[in-house]
Amino acid sequence: MRVSIVLPRGMRFSPEGATSIDLVARDLILASRYREATSVVGAAVDNPFPDVPFRAVVASSQRGMIAGCVDRLKADRPEVILVHQHPESAAAIARAMPGVPVILHRHGLLKKPRGWLSRWRRARQLEQVKRIVFVSQFIRGTFLEDFPRVAAKSVVIPNGVDTGLWLPATKERRITYVGRARADKGIGELLEAFLGLDAPGWTLSLVMSVQSEEEAAFARAIEARADGRADVELFRSLTIDAVRAELARSAIAALPSIVREGFPRAVVEAMSCGCAVIAGTGGGTPEAAGEAAILLDAVDAASVRAALARLVADPVLCTTLGAGARAHAASQLDLGVVARRYDDLIADVASKGA
């Protein structure tokens, strides 16, 4: 079966600077029984992932991006199209290719409709797609508050992880953050917590993904606050292999996001790598973490410091939590299990047609 995956503007399907959505899309393709007949359509990048066929689109606007995607899709003639994150793109592609069913895959919260006209337009867009995949019950439930009529065609499939690839290594006294360089990810609170922590021999590693000038400015501000401390290491936009190596050797992963996450990939990856995980309770994070992490009701420097101090002072607890996190990821979130559910959805949609 020919399957096309569409990544709207803002995605970067490359080992350098891939977003979490890019990585989810690639993982699902690599684990899919339709892998050999699947391709990705997305914004042009210098170095796309080499293990998935990639159709580059060059566009300076959203309208141009959609038109470019449609051109590539018509050339590939897929039997099913999956559009990540962007309802407008999914609806426009469905209208342009009426004989092909389109699935929308939502990873995060939608902006609330500003009024009846905005709500009506979005509802019309959602009528065009055959199914909607949500990464968590939290995202689905919030979505249905505004658009309850799509309940029957919605399904929850969480983000998975290749637990045979994301593996623990020899653990070091490292506390690692992985994620976007944004204030609402709790990086400032984490840095302040560590700077006030009595933890000789421990290192804080901040692995920040920088994808805009605003994020670059935030990263520079964090670097200035670290003030050259030898026990604070800062990285920008590492490759996925380097991120995996960093988590593999870290005893603790501190991911104290303030924003309500959909189903945070970084938490799942850290758990698979056997890290003792500290995270916020917002959004779908509790669904991802289960009982295998320390979840903070309030993300501030004091609460993050207290959680870190607890783990730093108790190596047995740190090791136990890491082992429990690894077991949770392997038993509940392994990519093979998730990909089978995703493939079954594709097959079901294809069998029903457009």
Extract the tokens encoding 101.
């069913």
- The separation between CA 244 and the C-alpha centre of its own chain, rounded to angstroms, equals 14
Which residues lie across from 167 on neighbouring strands?
none
Find the DSSP H helices in the chain: 20-30, 62-76, 87-96, 116-128, 137-146, 187-195, 213-226, 240-249, 265-272, 285-289, 301-313, 315-332, 335-352
Closest Cα to residue 226, out of 203, 192, 186? 192
Q: Which residues of the chain have pLDDT under 50?
A: none
What's the pLDDT at 242? 94
In order of 29, 140, 145, 153, 181, the CA distances from 148 in angstroms are 30, 10, 6, 10, 34
pLDDT at 115: 81
Rounded Cα distance, 330 and 153, in Å:
29
What stretch of H or E contains 84?
A: strand 80-84
Q: Cα separation of 189 and 300, whole Å?
A: 6
Q: Which H or E element spans position 133?
A: strand 131-134
Task: Please tell me the distance from the alpha carbon of residue 206 to that of residue 250, in angstroms, as a whole number.
Answer: 12
pLDDT for res 117 = 85
Whole-model pTM?
0.89
Distance of CA 69 to the CA centre of its chain: 22
